[in-house]
Amino acid sequence: MKEYLALLSVAKQIVFTGAPGTGKTYLARQIAQKMILGKVVDDESALTEEERAKLEEQMGFVQFHPSYDYTDFVEGLRPVKSEDGKSLGFERRDGAFKAFCWRAAQKTDSNFDAVYKKFVDELLENHSEDNPLELKTDGQGASFYVYPNSNDSLNLMTGPSKKKQGSLTPEKIKTFLTDTPYKWWAGYYRGVLNHLRKKYGLSSEVRKEERPYVFIIDEINRGNISKILGELMMLIESNKRSSQYAIKLTYSGPDDDKFYVPDNVYILGCMNTADRSLAIVDYALRRRFAFFPIEPEFDQTFRDYLLQKFDQKFVTEVCERLKTVNQRIQQEPSLGSGMEIGHSYFCDLTGADDKTKWWQNICKYELFPYIREICFDDNVLANDLCEKLLILHTIIMGFMQGLTEFLPVSSSGHIVLTSVIYKMITGQDFTVAGEEEVFFDIMLHFGTLIAICIYLLFAQYSAFGTNSVLFIISSDKLFYHLFNVYNSISKISIP
């Protein structure tokens, strides 16, 4: 966590890259929690009401997709209903990121949102175009009239004839609580604020210290970055976070303020490296973001999490299989580390009372489709990876233990010996999990059959001749293991 925070304080924006299931989005939210609340929690529902409100205020979240554009992210025209509700018009609205930046730029705290909502609710109940609410301008005390429209803004009427002039938006009203108020209609806007203070208890106070605001962009490479960011491509640079670099935005009018990204805004992006349908990320974006690779982690922390539900034997087998498959994916020229299987596939322990069924469902409905997708039409490679997840280790181990059946060691010694041999060959430990014990039994008996046949041939053609007693014993074992192979096969239920 310290490494991420240190990097973020300098670069201002980081993109976490990695295969699906490596916990990129989860990590981004944890970093946001640490920066905003000073702590990290696994379950945000456990936060106090005050902490949740703080997180909601200072953390933003969007997900890019092919249809996402500048008007969603920065600003653009949005359809609005006419006053009579019979037709549609268009109004310029701030996008998710611009609105977030305005919040971050505020130097005061207020209860404006709650107060304004209560004010509008009462207007909707008691006032209309035919019966507007009379207010007084700040300073001169001239009368003006307001009533709500369908967008929660206030329609403005002035003069004895109550002529319609336009609308007062809550965003612009709120600017009069800051050091940079809206340039026009100041008397009307301040008149509304005076009414909110007197009747609804609107209050504000200067912030004692600057607060971090963290904006998370999930699937950042799924959108057209240049189209979405527009002129923000320059404004998000860490050395251009001040009013000195403020510029007019695409939809800004001649009277609108210039815009810049505040220095206390931090951006965390999450990029899936396994999706081949996506274009290469814009080089301009790469220069402005620090890229941090997130790898699958099947370490002790992950094992301890699974041990809450499963036994040590099963957990070890799961981790070893995943490491084996990921190692093969890394080594495959057509794949690479960006295509590995992530650990978050296994973080949902719902239905894990039946560990075998839980494992099979993850493989069948999540991992196998993913593997076939990244392998394209290479069915041989896809099948090989899928087999490694299910039975390959079990088959090898059972067969090897069967071959050592006649060595002069105890039964437990056979397991130890074959485990050592297996680790020498593969570099990994081996355990058997769930229904795969059936496959283990099959291969153990099959390996033993091979060992018996080798022994019989050796005894038949050796210089010492055939030992009838050993032959009878071996024949008995032969029929015993043949029967067990048949019996084991009849139990197979793994798809």
pLDDT digits over 371-412, tens only?
Answer: 888 887 788 888 888 877 765 444 444 444 454 544 444 444
Strands 265-272 and 13-18: parallel
Calpha distance 120→124 (Å, rounded): 6
Calpha distance 181→106 (Å, rounded): 11
How confident is the model at residue 403, as a pLDDT?
A: 47
pTM of the model: 0.68
pLDDT digits (tens, 9 = 90+) for 257-269: 789 999 999 999 9
- Residues of the chain below pLDDT 50: 278-279, 392-401, 403, 405-414, 421-422, 424-428, 430-440, 460-482, 485-486, 488-495
Please write down the HEC assignment for all residues of the chain.
Answer: CHHHHHHHHHHCEEEEEECCCCCHHHHHHHHHHHHHHCCCCCCHHHCCHHHHHHHHHHEEEEECCCCCCHHHHCEEEEEEECCCCCCEEEEEEECHHHHHHHHHHCCEEECHHHHHHHHHHHHHHHCCCCCCEEEECCCCCCEEEEEECCCCCEEEEECCCCEEEEEECHHHHHHHHCCCCCCCCHHHHHHHHHHHHHHHCCCEEECCCCCCEEEEEECHHHCCHHHHHCCHHHHCCHHHCCHHHCECCCCCCCCCCCECCCCCEEEEEEEECCCCCCCCCCHHHHHHCEEEECCCCCCHHHHHHHHCCCCHHHHHHHHHHHHHHHHHHHHCCCCCHHHCCCHHHHCCCCCCCCHHHHHHHHHHHHHHHHHHHHCCCCHHHHHHHHHHHHCHHHHHHHHHHHHCCCCCCCHHHHHHHHHHHHHHHHCCCCCCCCCHHHHHHHHHHHHHHHHHHHHHHHHHHCCCCCCHHHHHHHHHHHHHHHHHHHHHHCCCCCC
How confident is the model at residue 265, as a pLDDT?
A: 94
Bridge partners (DSSP) of residue 164 are 157
Q: Which sign, positive or negative, has the C-alpha torsion 214, 217, 220, 225? A: negative
Bridge partners (DSSP) of residue 63 are 218
Query: Hey, what amino acid is at 117?
Result: K
Strands 88-94 and 75-81: antiparallel
How confident is the model at residue 310, as a pLDDT?
A: 86
Residues with Cβ within 8 Å of 25's Cβ and at least 6 positions away in sequence, in order, are: 216, 218, 270
Q: Please check whether residue 455 is in contact with residue 474, taking contact to mean a CB–CB distance below 8 angstroms.
A: yes
Q: Please check whether residue 309 is in contact with residue 315, taking contact to mean a CB–CB distance below 8 angstroms.
A: no
Calpha distance 104→286 (Å, rounded): 25
Cα 47 off chain centre by: 20
Q: What's the chain's Rg over C-alpha atoms?
A: 34
How confident is the model at residue 445, as a pLDDT?
A: 54
Distances from the Cα of 285 to the Cα of 46, 68, 289, angstroms: 36, 17, 6
Calpha distance 376→399 (Å, rounded): 32
How confident is the model at residue 86, as a pLDDT?
A: 66
How confident is the model at residue 84, as a pLDDT?
A: 58
Q: Please check whether residue 157 is in contact with residue 164, taking contact to mean a CB–CB distance below 8 angstroms.
A: yes
Matching residue, tokens 């057209």: 224
287 torsion bin: left (phi>0), alpha (psi -120 to 50), beta (else)? alpha
